Structure 1
Amino acid sequence: MKRRCLARLRATVRVTPIAAACVTLGAPVFAAEGDKAVASLSEVVVTATRTEERADAVASTITTHDARQIERAQPVDEAGLFADEPDIDVPRDRRRFGAGSINIRGIEDNRVLQMVDGVRLPDFFNGGGPSNISTSTRDAPEFSFLKRVEVLRGPASSLYGSDAIGGVVAYATKDPVDLTQGRAVGGELGLNWNGIDNGFGQTAGVAGGNGTIQGLFMYANRNAHEMKNMGSDDSNSVSRTKPNPQDVRTQAWLGKVLLNASPEHKFKLAYEHHDGNTDTDLLRLSASLPRVTSANGNEDLNRDRVSLDYAWTPANGVLDQLTAQVYYQEGKTGTVTNQVRSNTSTGCSATTRGTSLCNVELDFNFRQQQTGFNVQADKSFKTGSVGHRLIGGIDFMRVQSAESRDGVVRNLTTGTTSKSLAGENFPMHDFPDGETRQTGLFVQDELRFFDGRFTLTPGLRYDHYALSPDDDMVYNNAAGRPAVSKSDSNVSPKLSALWLATDRVNVWAQYVFGYRAPNYQEVNGSFRNLVQGYGAAPNPDLKAEKSRSFEIGARYTGDNVQTSVAVFDNRYHDFIEQVQLSCPSDPSCLPGLRATYQYRNQTSVRIYGAEWRGVWRFPPQWRLDGAVAYAHGNNEQTGQPLNSVSPLRASAGLSWERTPGQGAGVRWRGARPVTRTDDTSFTYFKPAGYGVVDLQAWWRFNKYASLALSVNNLFDKKYWLWGDVRQTGVSATEPGVDFYTQPGRTFAASLKLSF
């Protein structure tokens, strides 16, 4: 937030689930033996309704990726995981930090909930600015630990509360049964290599047990380098186009113990650890920091989660099931950036010419601790000819957030050392340490009429949040305004309907209210840069964001053809955006500064669009699938386009599978050129349209060994992704735009052994 002086419309969501032991989403469209991702129509899913339901009987748009599909696609990050989902965008910071936040239908960052086994991931944080020193990503789990990834589109506040205003991404990790496969003991070993970043990974897992108790332990390690692009300029300059050199190491482990205490009572204890370290030579320099002539950085990211799940299935039928979860999670990010500033001022400015040579070390830390629980009860019953499935529950979460920046400035010419730079005195907090408490109560009833051919589902959720800053002296010494406490509550209703028109066709619609409370940064973010004359002010009057979403869809399910179409219209009110105030007339302006930035509510933002998905299986072993997504977004207060909305995109795949586990496929994905952007701050570089082809092959030698091979970007196409361009703010006149190109032709391979 600190140095983000371009007012950018950013959209995102965060969500809290309830029955982590049951967290699974499903795709209501098509089944897949091949590599592209959709769930079997008859499978049971949970996330769309917070209760078990057939995938083809939910009034929403959901897609899934299972472990087999992930293994064949061999993604290195979330951008690769969702590459064939045309309505999902995962921008990468190509300079340093890589994939950061997930964008669903033009909504991103902390407005899209991401959770692992029912526990939300820590917030995404991006301080912005050309120094690019203060970013904390969402830290996706280790992909080899996953048995399933599911994405729910659109506002889900009626089920998951504040922050689920754009969608839900749920990661479900493997259980012991996924490794034992009915045996007393089982395990797996894996090796994988990917030419996209020359990364080599190793995974191992073992599980065992009996009908009463089971256990699992998994470990993964990966060493990689910078992600490739199509650049050729290897200079240390603003015109560099080759990637910044990187050394990356990640490791993770997962442990679980499951206890079936009785037929009625089941427990699951889980511990997950994930950490990563990245060293980067920042050889591509910033034109806005002309005195910075070389730089390097290090990033450490750690996340630990402990969760205990409980499920009670009473024999007396008073409830169908009661589930509960209690959890603790801590996420920490620490970055160090070292800069050499040449021919600079005695104060070691990044912009002012002088005769000094300086070394500047800049540190950034972000930490979140989450403690919470959830409880949910389910009961099915009938009143006359109407069937009911009633669910209700409570979610509670306490989040403690802390951020800091520090720095040491050494003028090698004068021999002086300082803790001041550009008018800032280190250490600094851009928002005060503090906590946020969120409590939600919800209820939902599925009413089934006409022998189940028509389902009407009303739902209602009450949320209360309270944001309480600490008495933070570091923040108080630098802030232009005092920090404030804030609390609010909201009721989010929902109504959905599904009609089984025939045995093969169903039609559905939903009208959903969304809600997102402002976070610590938006309410209390504050700093002052006296040298450059700008700063940010907190906003105690900031309102929560609200949304109303209407979506209709239809599905056809035949023996060999399945297809679905959905049309949506999402309207957001009091949308939160950082804007530049009209100073000095605005009373929120910080005195003595030429520019003040503040998060303000925008009157109205609208995103509407349509999506199609389909699959056709034709004998003897062929399968053709495809998807198209279109969205149109506007800030209706300013009349400008939303930069977070991508142009029309599509994907398609043709696969042949001789027997299950032995086959090959070709995939294509593409996008229209970027034409609609908000260029009021500056003119964006607008990527052209593209089409890219990948090849995949997989071979299961026997029940113990399997191999997957990939050739990505088969025709070595040079192209840019709009998400990467807007993530960095690449202008039309920026030199060396090939720096932001995607990798050319690369190869990947993975070997998995099961026992």
Structure 2
Amino acid sequence: MKRRCLARLRASASIRATPIAAVCAALGGPVLAAEPAADPARHLSEVVVTATRTEERADAVASTITAIDASRIERAQPADEAALFADEPDIDVPRDRRRFGAGSINIRGIEDNRVLLMVDGVRLPDYYNGGGPSNLSSATRDAPEFSFLKRVEVLRGPASSLYGSDAIGGVVSYVTKNPEDIMRGRAVGGEAGLSWNGIDRSFGQTAGVAGGNETIKGLFMYAHRKGHEVRSMGGNDTTSTGRTKANPQNSETNAWLGKIVLDPAAGHRFKLTYEHRDNDTFTDIRRLSTALPRVTSANGTEDLSRNRVSLDYEWKPASRVIDRLSAAVFYQESESNTVTNQVRSRTSSGCSGSTAGTSLCDVNLLFGFRQQQTGFNVQADKSFNTGVVGHRLITGVDFLRTQTSEMRDGTTYNRTTGVVSKSLAGDNFPIHDFPKGEARQTGIFVQDELQFAGGRFTLTPGLRFDHYSLGPDDDKLYNSVASKPATSKSDSALSPKLSALWQATDRINLWAQYVFGYRAPNYQEINGSFRNTIQGYGAAPNGDLNPEKSRSFEIGARYTDERVQTSVAVFDNRYKDFIEQVALRCPSDPACLAGLRATYQYRNQSSVRIYGAEWRGSYRFLPQWRVDSAVAYAHGNNEQTGQPLNSVSPLRASAALTWERGSSSQGQGASLRWRGARAVTRTDDTSFAYFKPGGYGVADIQGWWRFNRYASLVLSVNNVFDKKYWLWGDVRQGSVAASEPGLDFYTQPGRTFAASVKLSF
């Protein structure tokens, strides 16, 4: 079917069940179906934005992209990002089971700051993990409140040709609700909900109201949640290195979202947004570290906050001199503060975490990470024809200024000697592990979508030019401990892209893309520096780091008819100058720090390769019944060392059997969902032998009811058969060795229940 024919269906489609979307719909389909589930038209044309930076049908883009709408999020009842993406076999969100929970999103084996996360087009702050056995310096990329979301889009593979640095592994785009989503065609609308989730025994409340007229509309939403630790299946409740029950934890989250939308004249729209989210957590750290035998008890708090203000403008001129002009300016600040309190028993007079002695010490450790981001973007879209060739031209400019600061502080109280000190393990507090400073990124991009043969063949070339500069402040705290002076750095990169899509028949399309990607090194990687003279190791800065570069080739095919939707994609991603922290060969390496037995430094690895394949499919065998499934396989190697990439998960799969019946006033359904993975066999055990989890399969049941237009209910039973299993991402996140005691500490929750009720008016 030609694209112009499919485009007519956009207005009537409410969810996507293209080959990619079909699996997503089954694995966590809409909570409240707006139309009967058997309506085939709704499966053809879900519109996404992330793949091309403009509205496009998801089954008409030459890349792998999935979308999760608000109703699917409500049905999934996710406690965190790990649960939100649990049924996507090519996405992994490891949890730090010791303390910090879900953190970095991993797409096809690429994670951390190599995956771009955005909320309403604004980049989320950087992910930071200082590592170490004390596990106290971490700043996660806090996601927005799930109840505020209207959609989440995930684009796989490098996307630097449109988004620049940080999109070398993919893009996750969170889109928050607008007043129209709450008003639902009325002058005033509102919603309120309650939820309970047994995974972390959390209780949440959310409320929103919106109203206005054709000229001005407003929205305000509030969410509050209290919860506890994510459960494990361990039974050892002691304070020890062998503890297997999860560390006791209390958390509280508050979030606000406010929007004012102004339509002063035809074709013009302004949108002012304020978003706030804060989370306060207290953890009783009863799982002790084998690397710190003198630490006999510990607890800590984490306080996270993020505030964003953005102003968006959109112009769609009636003259059609351009189709659309959009512009946005924004300011965002985020802060993460961590406090850790330790008791160190039978320790040295200096309160060592590992050296034995006769002293008893209280140790107070603090960590802070703060970022301020200011930026703008401008984009213009124009469709036109040159002869028989159709064009859709997209061009724009992005600018981002990021100010970053980090701090560690500490105080020791020796109860035996009465000495109070700001020195510990060779550190003299307070300390900056990298200097305060500023980074600027500017990108100019252009993309032309050329359509031939009446829209059956589309060729899309794209190109982006990026320039970044990084400059440190004159930071006295950093200078006092750094092994080398902080350095400035700037560079530029071109990121081209070429993709093609062929509508071979009304039901089959084939596509391919060849994409270049790049990521600029950040402050920690270039100027990170510290010395631990007691334990004899440190980190050296590296001002010679080059940006990471990638080349990605992907091909795919999709088939869609009234009952079957399926797709397959094969990819090969090659990375050059991949940045990894490595142990130097000391003392022969000139970057080694004198007097220390070990030095770590971020270095460019010459070649890293990840290749794999994914399949998704959906089969509707009766009007109200369907089966959906997905499989993802990836294989990764560090070709410089010949070792596997630990960030790549083993083969994973998911499936669902769904029954649903609905109408515009009432709807009900149920789904039996399954997900599983093969055993872990390929790991880089150069530093130590990892614990390798076995394969697993786990089942969930969901049921949902919409009683009328005002009330709905969702019930879930997760891990129905109380299966004990481990996720490789969690094991890798905690650097869990095969010899570590109490491995059940890292198990997933057993059988749990979840429920939510929502009222709309």
Shared fold (TM-score, shorter chain, > 0.5): yes
Are 2:713 and 1:713 aligned? no
Distance in 2 of aligned mates of 1:570 and 1:639: 16
Residue 29 (structure 1) aligns with: 20
Residue 98 (structure 1) aligns with: 101
Q: Given that residues 273 and 309 in structure 2 are in contact (C-alpha distance below 8 angstroms), is that contact kept between their aligned partners in structure 1? A: yes
Distance in 2 of aligned mates of 1:192 and 1:56: 34
Distance in 2 of aligned mates of 1:186 and 1:251: 22
Residue 544 (structure 2) aligns with: 541
Amino acid at match of 2:330: Y
Query: Could you tell me how far 1:641 is from its partner in structure 2?
Result: 0.3
Residue 217 (structure 1) aligns with: 220
Structure 1's 34 and 186: CA in aligned 2 closer, same or farther, altered over 3 A?
farther
Q: Given that residues 713 and 746 in structure 1 are in contact (C-alpha distance below 8 angstroms), is that contact kept between their aligned partners in structure 2? A: yes
Distance in 1 of aligned mates of 2:620 and 2:178: 31
Structure 1 unmatched runs, 5+: 1-23
Amino acid at match of 2:706: R
1:499 to 486, 499, 502: 502
Q: Given that residues 26 and 150 in structure 1 are in contact (C-alpha distance below 8 angstroms), is that contact kept between their aligned partners in structure 2? A: no
The Cα offsets for residues 400-429 of structure 1, whole Å up to 9 and x where unpaired, read as: 000000001000000110000001000000
The Cα offsets for residues 693-741 of structure 1, whole Å up to 9 and x where unpaired, read as: 0000000010000000000000000000000000010000000000000
| Larger deviation, residues 584-593 vs 195-204 | 584-593
Distance in 1 of aligned mates of 2:659 and 2:279: 37
Are 2:709 and 1:703 aligned? yes
Q: Given that residues 29 and 71 in structure 2 are in contact (C-alpha distance below 8 angstroms), is that contact kept between their aligned partners in structure 1? A: no
SS in 2 for 1:598: strand
Residue 700 (structure 2) aligns with: 694
Q: Given that residues 26 and 45 in structure 1 are in contact (C-alpha distance below 8 angstroms), is that contact kept between their aligned partners in structure 2? A: no
Residue 670 (structure 2) aligns with: 664
Distance in 2 of aligned mates of 1:432 and 1:506: 51
1:344 to 347, 354, 357: 347
Are 2:637 and 1:634 aligned? yes
Mapping of residues 504-653 of structure 1, within 5 Å:
504-653=507-656
1:239 to 220, 239, 242: 242
Distance in 1 of aligned mates of 2:636 and 2:146: 32
Mapping of residues 77-226 of structure 1, within 5 Å:
77-226=80-229
Residue 58 (structure 1) aligns with: 61
Distance in 2 of aligned mates of 1:426 and 1:470: 19
SS in 2 for 1:702: coil
Residue 743 (structure 1) aligns with: 749
Distance in 2 of aligned mates of 1:357 and 1:612: 58
Q: Given that residues 25 and 47 in structure 1 are in contact (C-alpha distance below 8 angstroms), is that contact kept between their aligned partners in structure 2? A: no
Amino acid at match of 1:143: F
Amino acid at match of 2:20: V
Distance in 1 of aligned mates of 2:263 and 2:390: 31
Residue 308 (structure 1) aligns with: 311
TM-score by length of 2: 0.95
Residue 724 (structure 1) aligns with: 730
Residue 383 (structure 1) aligns with: 386
The Cα offsets for residues 371-406 of structure 1, whole Å up to 9 and x where unpaired, read as: 000000000000010000001000000000000000
SS in 2 for 1:451: helix
1:256 to 250, 254, 259: 259
Structure 1's 676 and 35: CA in aligned 2 closer, same or farther, altered over 3 A?
closer
Structure 1's 673 and 569: CA in aligned 2 closer, same or farther, altered over 3 A?
same
Q: Given that residues 332 and 366 in structure 1 are in contact (C-alpha distance below 8 angstroms), is that contact kept between their aligned partners in structure 2? A: yes
Query: Could you tell me how far 1:620 is from its partner in structure 2?
Result: 2.9
Amino acid at match of 2:686: T
Q: Given that residues 28 and 61 in structure 1 are in contact (C-alpha distance below 8 angstroms), is that contact kept between their aligned partners in structure 2? A: no
Q: Given that residues 25 and 48 in structure 1 are in contact (C-alpha distance below 8 angstroms), is that contact kept between their aligned partners in structure 2? A: no
Structure 2 unmatched runs, 5+: 1-14, 31-41
Structure 1's 33 and 669: CA in aligned 2 closer, same or farther, altered over 3 A?
closer
Q: Given that residues 405 and 428 in structure 1 are in contact (C-alpha distance below 8 angstroms), is that contact kept between their aligned partners in structure 2? A: yes
Residue 11 (structure 2) aligns with: none
The Cα offsets for residues 467-488 of structure 1, whole Å up to 9 and x where unpaired, read as: 0000000000011111000000
Structure 1's 270 and 264: CA in aligned 2 closer, same or farther, altered over 3 A?
same
SS in 1 for 2:74: helix
Query: Could you tell me how far 1:35 is from its partner in structure 2?
Result: 5.2
The Cα offsets for residues 655-705 of structure 1, whole Å up to 9 and x where unpaired, read as: 111224301110000000000000010000000000000000000010000
The Cα offsets for residues 199-250 of structure 1, whole Å up to 9 and x where unpaired, read as: 0000000000000000000000000111111000000000000000000100
Structure 1's 35 and 533: CA in aligned 2 closer, same or farther, altered over 3 A?
closer
Query: Could you tell me how far 1:41 is from its partner in structure 2?
Result: 3.0
Distance in 2 of aligned mates of 1:462 and 1:294: 52
Structure 1's 495 and 28: CA in aligned 2 closer, same or farther, altered over 3 A?
farther
SS in 2 for 1:47: coil
Amino acid at match of 1:104: I
SS in 2 for 1:747: strand
The Cα offsets for residues 330-367 of structure 1, whole Å up to 9 and x where unpaired, read as: 01000000000000000000001100000000000000
1:49 to 29, 32, 52: 52
Amino acid at match of 1:728: G
Mapping of residues 451-466 of structure 1, within 5 Å:
451-466=454-469
2:274 to 271, 275, 279: 271
Residue 426 (structure 1) aligns with: 429
Query: Could you tell me how far 1:43 is from its partner in structure 2?
Result: 2.2
Q: Given that residues 34 and 657 in structure 1 are in contact (C-alpha distance below 8 angstroms), is that contact kept between their aligned partners in structure 2? A: no
Distance in 2 of aligned mates of 1:630 and 1:29: 16
Amino acid at match of 1:408: T
The Cα offsets for residues 83-129 of structure 1, whole Å up to 9 and x where unpaired, read as: 00000000000000000000000000000011101011101100001
Query: Could you tell me how far 1:632 is from its partner in structure 2?
Result: 0.2
Query: Could you tell me how far 1:584 is from its partner in structure 2?
Result: 1.9
Residue 445 (structure 1) aligns with: 448
Amino acid at match of 1:662: Q
Q: Given that residues 94 and 724 in structure 1 are in contact (C-alpha distance below 8 angstroms), is that contact kept between their aligned partners in structure 2? A: yes
Amino acid at match of 1:366: F
Amino acid at match of 2:701: L
Amino acid at match of 1:126: N
The Cα offsets for residues 158-203 of structure 1, whole Å up to 9 and x where unpaired, read as: 0000110000000001111111100000000000001111100000
Distance in 2 of aligned mates of 1:658 and 1:555: 27
Q: Given that residues 232 and 748 in structure 2 are in contact (C-alpha distance below 8 angstroms), is that contact kept between their aligned partners in structure 1? A: yes
Q: Given that residues 19 and 559 in structure 2 are in contact (C-alpha distance below 8 angstroms), is that contact kept between their aligned partners in structure 1? A: no
Aligned sequence identity (%)? 76
The Cα offsets for residues 441-476 of structure 1, whole Å up to 9 and x where unpaired, read as: 000000101111100000000000000000000000
Distance in 2 of aligned mates of 1:77 and 1:41: 30
TM-score by length of 1: 0.96
Q: Aligned-residue CA RMSD in angstroms? A: 1.3
Amino acid at match of 2:99: R
Distance in 2 of aligned mates of 1:595 and 1:230: 37
Q: Given that residues 30 and 41 in structure 1 are in contact (C-alpha distance below 8 angstroms), is that contact kept between their aligned partners in structure 2? A: no
SS in 1 for 2:166: coil
Residue 401 (structure 2) aligns with: 398
